[in-house]
Amino acid sequence: MPIDAVNGVTTNALSGVFGTNQATTPANTAEPTTGTDGSFAASLGNAVDGLQELQSTSKTLALKAVTGNLDDIHDATIASTRAQVTLELVAAVRNKGVDAFNEIMRMQA
């Protein structure tokens, strides 16, 4: 399995963490936004939606693994790791946004 680049974060919200040849890949990944209509809030919203989809896939595959209905345990492990890494990435972006907001609020006019 090739390792995807994380450079897609700036142009396509978290598309770099989705694999291109796995069965666990979400079908409706976010499209890149261009121009003035795309905003940071929309990108972050798309990232959270993608995270929820990854977590749902991870839970489904974990349930199949526990019940013995999963042919390849690697699929569940990969889905779980993707969901964990994506959650850490979204949390880091959120923390940086909060830090930036707090820094702006400390500035004097």
DSSP calls for 16-63: GGS-SS-TTS-SSPPPPP-TTS--HHHHHHHHHHHHHHHHHHHHHHHH
Q: What is the pLDDT of residue 109?
A: 63
What digits encode the pLDDT tens for the residues 37-69?
578 789 888 989 999 999 999 999 999 999 999
Distance between CA atoms of residues 65 and 80, nearest Å: 12
What digits encode the pLDDT tens for the residues 28-41?
445 554 545 578 78
